[in-house]
Amino acid sequence: METPERGRLTLPSRDEPAPQAMPVAVAPRRRLRAGDGMILAVALVILAAVIVMGAFSLVAAERIDATSRERWNSLVLDALQRRAAFLERDLSSFAHWDESVLRTAYFLDVDWVHENFGKWLYHTQRHDRSYIVLETGPAYASIDGAAVDVAGAPFDTAAIMPLVEGVKAAFLDQTQALKATAPLAGESRGRDNPPVFRAGYLRVEGRPALIGAISITPDFGRVVSPTRVPPVAVTVLFLDASFLGDLVGELHMASPSISDEPPPPDRQGVRVPFHDPQTKPAWLSWKPENPGRALLSTLLPALIGTALLLLAVAAIVLWYARRATQELAESEKLASRLAYTDPLCGLANRTMLMRALGERLRQVDPGNRLAVLFLDLDGFKDINDTLGHHVGDLLLTEIGNRLARLPLKDALASRFGGDEFVILVPVKSDEDIAAAGAVVLEVVRQPAEIAGQTLTVSGSIGCTVAPDHGVDAIELIRLADIAVYRAKAEGRANVQIFAPRMEREVMRRRDVELDLQRALAEGELTIYYQPQFAVDGEVVIGFEALVRWVQPSRGVIAPGEFISIAEQTGLITELDMWVLRNACAQARDWGELKLAVNLSPVDFRSGDLDMQVKRILDETGFPAERLEIEITENLLFGNQPEAFASLAALRRMGIRIALDDFGSGYSSLGYIRRFRVDTINIDRSFTQNIGQSDDAAAIIDCVVRLARALAITVTAEGVETREQLRYLQSVGCHHVQGYLLAGPVPLASIDRYLERATFPSPPPKRSRVTI
């Protein structure tokens, strides 16, 4: 039975009157079609002339306003920098004075300091707050020109003290430089060692302010500067009405204000140049002059009146003709959209793709080729799993909008299904194929604002070319899909053109999957152990368990090949538990040496991982405190609740957690703060670049310092040269591992390393560190 919706689409109630209306309506429209075309042409000419005049006026006005805004931005920023420089002038008269040294460094004369410093600055320069900071901390405070008790005075240590410490450090450097350049001159006098001044815009108690700090030193040297760090005079000017009033007097700006939010469109503003780029931004805004807009407002009434008059005439004439055809055009558009457009992305659907591909394949020849780009989004499943399918749908819509605007001539983008897209691009050469693929990848990888979050995804592209790979539409798409697997195996975010070997690789992957299932059942796998050493490179502190597979017919299969297949097919958890069980059983009697075992992020998706590990420890009798589970940064990315719950349960059992390959993925201090790991394994890519790149050495140094502050053990992987080992020893790395010291060895060769073992020191006491 036909549904009511289908009845309305077929319009059965209009079957009767339709034949009577068509002769009356269609014939006049055909006769008037030439006249309508002429009227439309005239209207378009008039409209074009109006648009050109309006566009010229808008562009001219906008350029004038843009020039004015740039000039004002430069003037205001220069004025803010001058205000910071003026602080040195205000402070030097007090700080570079023998009497100030005597009454601050040797004994603090609060009344004298207030009269000559805090009160004087407030009444003459309108400084809001003034402080004298000694080595022990603030010793004098003046708030709005009144001396207050230091103990109760507001003093934003987090904002002020870094500037003060910078002054002290610079003064010490300056003193050492003077001693080095004139070692026989004796103790330097005031004129030889001028005061050190630092100033900058900061937030004091959340309010934007200009802070200046200067060391107090003698001017003529009658009071010898003490050998310790000199006192520092600090002054604070809040960016309030008084501060803005000075800018108004200098620049004659209109209605200036300070705000934590960007200025609205009707106001012009600049960011306050905070000393610390991480400071929450603030804007100084004012009412702009907009000379171009003022000029345009003078011309606009005449322009609008002329345009409206001309357009009204054309609109009245065209309205009648347009009204008659509008309903039919909308119906046809809707029917076409429903039949050939993907409702989520707005792109062509699979039906339209196959139709268009069939038509284009009939036109290809060796000189006019057609590239079929099969795009698969990388990491889209993780977004669906962690943020929800509604966010995934919004992301697909955004990707669809971008692909619809591809800057490729005669390209057709379509959604094939799920997170897969197919783009048809006419090409002449292989260079055109590479260029088209690069354009698509660049469009996809741009960040997207989805549901209040910034998401970034990449894409892998498999490509086939007609007629090189045939002219059958289904076969071309199948082969392009196979090429996608190769693109993902090459590290993702790249383009791979199909080659026959790729199809053989797909078949090999399937064979490896079947053989791996059999290998797990029949015990073809074995475990090798790579020793981990103390930083001296002599004492063995533990072993890392590594799985190896020697397949009877294929020989040695690299772990990188079969482990990735195991993760994709769901065999990884069975494989990891097999390694954990056998490694614990074999290493049970190795004294107190730790045993490191890798677990895949897939293992943590099950809700009972901690119970599986506990059951293995109970069966093998292996102590939990000797076991170290190595996880990758990808596990922490996305903040999966089940992963964090499993990690917490493992730690409660006494198992140590190591963050493996640190720096190769989503390294973030936030992950370490949220979940405190016991060990950080520095990725081998950084270790192997020691001596080759300054960046790698600096990063390792920073990681070690951070880990030591957080009481986290650091293990450097991939140590292969003596130079690398010496550098790791110099920065204080705890443990090392690599082929320089020992490679993975079978169980039969483990005894010679057990002889070099010692018990590890107890872990350092954790301390709270603010990051």
Q: Domains of the chain: which residue ranges?
A: 28-81+291-324, 96-238, 350-498, 566-740
Q: Name 269's bridge partners.
A: 285
Please report, as a single letter, which amino acid is at residue 71.
Answer: R
Residue 496 contacts residue 490 (beta carbons within 8 Å): yes
State which CATH number among 3.40.50.150, 3.20.20.450, 3.30.565.10, 3.90.1150.10 fits the domain covering 566-740.
3.20.20.450
Question: Are the C-beta atoms of residues 127 and 271 closer than 8 Å to each other?
Answer: no
Determine the pLDDT at residue 33.
53
**pLDDT at residue 251, as a whole number:** 82
The pLDDT, as a whole number, for residue 441 is 94
- Joined tokens for residue 468: 């090189």
Of the candidates 152, 284, 175, 267, the one whose C-alpha atom is nearest the C-alpha of residue 224 is 175
Measure CA 466 to chain center.
39
Residue 326 buriedness (CB in 10 A; 0-12 / 13-18 / 19+): exposed
Per the listing, tokens 């097999």 go with 578
- Give residues with Cβ within 8 angstroms of 314, minimum separation 6: 39, 40, 42, 43, 46, 47
Query: What is the predicted pLDDT for the residue at 558?
Result: 80
pTM of the complete model beyond 0.85: no
Angle between helices 241-251 and 17-95 (to 10 degrees): 100
pLDDT of 611-639, one tens digit each?
A: 999 999 999 999 999 999 998 877 765 55
* Low-confidence residues of the chain: pLDDT under 70: 1-40, 42-43, 182-192, 221-228, 314, 317-318, 320-325, 636-640, 663-674, 758-771
Average pLDDT, the chain: 82
How confident is the model over 105-143, as pLDDT tens digits?
888 888 999 899 988 999 888 898 999 998 888 989 999
Find where tokens 């003193």 sit. Answer: 175
What is residue 190's predicted lDDT score, i.e. its pLDDT? 54
Residue pair 236/127 in contact (Cβ under 8 Å)? The answer is yes
Residue 139: CA atoms inside 13 Å, Cβ hemisphere, count? Answer: 19
Architecture of the domain delimited by 350-498: 2-Layer Sandwich (3.30)
Residue 244: Cβ-neighbour burial (10 angstroms; 0-12, 13-18, 19+)? middle
Q: How far apart are CA 610 and CA 592, in angstroms?
A: 22
What local confidence, expressed as pLDDT, does residue 21 receive? 30
Q: Quote the tokens at residue 689.
A: 């670049």
Residue 707 has a pLDDT of: 87
Give CA–CA dist 396/591, Å, rounded.
55
pLDDT at 181: 76
| 8 Å CB contact between 66 and 322 | no
